[in-house]
Amino acid sequence: MTPIILVAETGSDITPELASRYGIYIVPMHVSFDNETFDDGTFPAEQICSYYRQTGKLPKTSGSTPEDFEKAFDEIHAKYPEAQILYLAYSAVTTCSYQSALIAAEDRDYVTAIDTKQVSVGQAAVVVAAARALREKPQMTLEEAIAGVEEAIAHAKMCFLPDNLEFLRAGGRVSNVAYLGSRILSLHPCIEILDGKLIATRKYRGKMEKVAAQLVYDYAEKYKLKKDCLWLVYTAGLQEEVRRSVERAATECGFEKLQWIQAGGVITTHGGPAAFGLAGMSQED
């Protein structure tokens, strides 16, 4: 059977360990500090927070380029000339990566691209689900793999809570008035990934230790998340008490496995320090 090789971007926050375990190729997105641009994942995400504290400016993020994908596609094709490449993309409405991959794939008929309509661990949940399915059924055809991916995308749910809105304000995503109001009232907007877009759906009030746990209860119930695995993502600076509170809530909800992942540079730039998010698969359509 023709092997199927999975590809995703660093913005999926798939760890090197998971990528190695499942044979997933990771293509870099990019982060720019003034006039210097680095591949996401090649520097500590904490550097973004330090840069902001020192300069008062946020780095700029950018998607993977056609050249990034050409390099990855050619490397895979040279190593596995009979393989089909299945690229499972970071939300296409938020970055140029998906379009870059389509450009790179124009003369490469062994490449198929699918928009996961997810970011960070939402995307990771879809990609790893596909990888596990391929491992369980190595004779799977490309058509079967695509059908499985599309089903996973339909069930994938993700949201996150920023600790505060400072990075979102600095990036022009919220106003000064909203930022000041959130500081005074200790508000944390719940931002969901809906059809690829980042949408603020409700507000939580209080300390992160309390509201992060409440988010676990609410989200698990709202979407009837499957209990086999809950994906948990955090940015640099999340307090240990928050992690413990989240784990207690997840255990009480009946989740069998918790997969913690620290966000890389792209997600940290947008979410700010000490942010928390989660993802899982809904049992309902």
Give the pairing type, strands 84-90 and 111-118.
parallel
**pLDDT of amino acid 101:** 98
What pLDDT, in 10s, does the model give residues 8-18? Answer: 999 999 999 99
Overall pTM > 0.85: yes
**Gap between the terminal Cα atoms of the chain:** 31
What pLDDT, in 10s, does the model give residues 37-62? Answer: 999 999 999 999 899 889 988 899 99
Q: Residue 102 region, left (φ>0) first, then alpha (ψ -120 to 50), else beta?
A: alpha
Count other Cβ atoms within 10 Å, centred on residue 138: 9
